[in-house]
Amino acid sequence: EAQVTQNPRYLITVTGKKLTVTCSQNMNHEYMSWYRQDPGLGLRQIYYSMNVEVTDKGDVPEGYKVSRKEKRNFPLILESPSPNQTSLYFCASSLSPTGGGEQYFGPGTRLTVT
Amino acid sequence: AQKITQTQPGMFVQEKEAVTLDCTYDTSDQSYGLFWYKQPSSGEMIFLIYQGSYDEQNATEGRYSLNFQKARKSANLVISASQLGDSAMYFCAMRPSNAGGTSYGKLTFGQGTILTVHP
């Protein structure tokens, strides 16, 4: 089954404690991205990746890091989480970054930073 | 830069009636794609429908249709014969279709509209 998986699904952590949210897709997609969803703001792109070792900032990259060492994986790293990073996070992938190719979304990770 | 505006924070509809969710957009790209996603209370993002900016006909997918008016930069979602299971948050989104530029590949989302279907 074609899917994007994220782990963990829920996470409560404290300010400053480094964490990683994993993302993996089994569709051999080149394009992957991370979004955060906040009430009233919709989804905003954090980082994206065109392919292995090719990543770039989205609209709200501050406080986040990513890496793309393998095509299937695109982890999101919060080196020193802060309460303003409390949000719902989605990983997404698509075969192509343009056209009508559907972006497949992971199930989401609900992060709370206290 | 791209911008999506959904002006209806919440909409109510009676079961079996049709409802239109509004979406307007702004972009300098000549070629782009428009998407609608559904997000039920469980949180997952479900792709509903896609419209290319050069598509001459409005897209349809089952009970969903996209009323695309390019000159007015609007891409409204029409849901016919509403069902209780249609109650959810709905997002309009767009992304450029041409390579290059800072928006390449990025889906830009609106703020969302919460649809409630009454029995």
Contact B44 A105 (CB under 8 A): yes
The per-residue pLDDT for B56 is 85
Tell me which residues of chain A, numbers 38 to 77, contact chain B at a CB-CB cutoff of 8 Å: 40-45, 48, 50, 58-59
The per-residue pLDDT for A96 is 75
How far from the centroid of its chain's Cα atoms is residue A105's Cα? 10
The per-residue pLDDT for B104 is 64
The per-residue pLDDT for B29 is 85
Report the pLDDT averaged over residues B40-60: 92
Chain B residues with CB under 8 Å of A104 CB are 47
- Name the band, by pLDDT with cuts 50, 70 and 90, for residue B100: low
Structure tokens at A18: 């480094």
Q: Tokens 């695309």 map to which residue?
A: B68
Contact B99 A44 (CB under 8 A): no
Residue-averaged pLDDT of chain B: 92
Taking chain A (114 residues) in runs of 10, the rounded mean pLDDT of each run is 94 97 95 94 92 91 97 97 97 79 89 98
Pairing of strands B32-39, A42-51: unpaired
Nearest to A42 among B50, B95, B110 (CB): B110
Contact A33 B50 (CB under 8 A): no
What residue type is assigned to position B42 of the chain?
A: S
Report the pLDDT averaged over residues B45-69: 93
State yes or no: cis peptide before A39, omega within 30 of 0: no
The per-residue pLDDT for A110 is 97
Is pLDDT above 80 for B12?
yes
Q: Is A41 helix (H, G, I), strand (E, B) or coil?
A: coil
The residues with which B63 forms a beta bridge, in sequence order, are none
Q: Is B4 helix (H, G, I), strand (E, B) or coil?
A: strand
Nearest to B44 among A41, A103, A107 (CB): A107
- The percentage of residues in chain B with a pLDDT greater than 90, rounded to a whole number, is 76
Report the pLDDT averaged over residues B89-116: 83
Is pLDDT above 80 for B101?
no
Report the pLDDT averaged over residues B25-43: 92
